[in-house]
């Protein structure tokens, strides 16, 4: 399996929801497992673990896939942003190698798997061969149902970079992000849960925050493509200047 240029994959990936139930062969699973070992975290000081688990060890009713990967993390700092950032690397790796995948909010690993980790279970991603190969990729950016750039960004002189975040997947396609700043410093905000019942707010907040991590990974890939590097920082001024209905998450200092 190749590690393709993830930038190109951003413009064609899609969530695969219907799978061929035949498990992937051992060699492919081993290569996926090796790729998991090379995932880059956003924060080095947050312990994480990603485990591949077969369908039999997952509590799920619908949209079954032959395989899942489950993320476990130490629940500290921006750990949900970190989870989104890390596992999106797998989404792009799999899509770039013609394997379908989908972030999944409802399935959970069975108790045996949960009690085998000291870390907190965060989320799973399903993966396997798609039932129909035409459901693997999109034709191009116009095939994505996404908000226009003007609704999610006020960043100056960095449309090409923010475009990669615009196309990122998010829970329920809610696209809960907003970006401000300029080509040297991009500030990321997440929407506050609104129009949801109070008891649902923590869940919405959790998936929104993971989705911001996904979008930040897409920003990183685009910055790299254009020969730039980004460092993750916290900016107090940006925190206090959040756009209405959004809260500050992190900033990317671009070099
Ligand atoms: C954090 C997160 C949770 C998600 N949970 C589910 C889910 O439970 N079931 C599902 O079918 N899709 C789920 N999705 C996939 C989204 O529905 C999908 O990414 C979005 O509709 C955009 O479509 P695309 O990924 O094909 O571009 C989830 C995505 C994210 C990022």
State residue 26 phi and psi, 5-degree precision.
Answer: -55, -40
- Run of H or E including 229: none
Instruction: List all residues whose CB is within 6 A of at least one atom of ligand 1.
Output: 14-15, 17, 63, 102-106, 169-173, 207, 210-211, 214
Q: Of all protein residues, whose CA lies closest to atom 20 belonging to ligand 1?
A: 173
Residue 163: how many CA atoms within 13 Å on its side-chain side? 15
The residues spanned by each domain of the chain are 6-135, 145-254
pLDDT of residue 193: 78
Residue 101: how many CA atoms within 13 Å on its side-chain side? 24
Name the class of domain 145-254.
Answer: alpha beta
State residue 218 phi and psi, 5-degree precision.
Answer: -60, -40
pLDDT of residue 3: 75
Q: Of all protein residues, whose CA lies closest to atom 2 belonging to ligand 1?
A: 171
Digit-coded pLDDT (tens) for 161-214: 999 999 999 999 999 999 999 999 999 999 987 767 788 888 889 999 999 999
Longest dimension (CA), the chain: 52
Distance 202 CA to ligand 1 centre (A): 18
Choose which residue among 10, 68, 91, 104 to substitute to test ligand 1 binding: the one with the highest number of ligand atoms within 8 A of its C-beta: 104
Confidence of residue 2 (pLDDT cuts 50, 70, 90): confident
Length of the chain: 255
Distance 14 CA to ligand 1 centre (A): 9
Same fold, 6-135 and 145-254: yes
pLDDT of residue 19: 96
**CATH topology (fold) of 6-135:** NADH Oxidase (3.40.109)
Digit-coded pLDDT (tens) for 50-107: 999 999 999 998 779 999 999 999 999 999 999 999 999 999 999 999 999 999 999 9
Structure tokens at 102: 């989908």
């Amino acid at each position: 399996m190749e590690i393709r240029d993830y930038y190109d994959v951003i413009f064609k990936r899609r969530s695969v929801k219907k799978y061929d139930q035949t498990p992937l062969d051992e060699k492919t699973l081993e290569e996926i497992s090796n790729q998991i070992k090379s995932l880059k975290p956003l924060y080095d000081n947050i312990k994480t673990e990603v485990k591949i688990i077969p369908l039999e060890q997952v509590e799920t009713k619908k949209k079954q896939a032959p395989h899942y990967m489950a993320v476990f993390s130490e629940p500290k700092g921006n750990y949900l942003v970190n989870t989104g950032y890390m596992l999106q690397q797998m989404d792009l790796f799999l899509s770039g190698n013609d394997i379908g995948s989908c972030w999944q909010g409802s399935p959970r690993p069975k108790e045996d798997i949960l009690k085998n980790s000291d870390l907190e279970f965060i989320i799973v991603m399903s993966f396997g061969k798609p039932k129909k190969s035409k459901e693997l990729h999109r034709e191009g950016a116009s095939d994505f149902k996404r908000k226009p750039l003007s609704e999610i960004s006020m960043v100056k002189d960095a449309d090409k970079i923010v475009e990669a975040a615009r196309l990122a997947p998010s829970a329920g396609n809610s696209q809960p992000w907003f970006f401000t700043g300029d080509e040297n410093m991009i500030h990321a905000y997440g929407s506050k849960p609104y129009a949801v019942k109070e008891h649902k707010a923590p869940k919405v907040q959790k998936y929104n925050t993971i989705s911001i991590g996904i979008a930040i990974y897409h920003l990183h890939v685009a910055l790299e493509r254009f020969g730039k590097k980004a460092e993750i920082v916290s900016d107090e001024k940006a925190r206090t200047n959040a756009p209405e209905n959004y809260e500050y998450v992190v900033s990317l200092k671009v070099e």
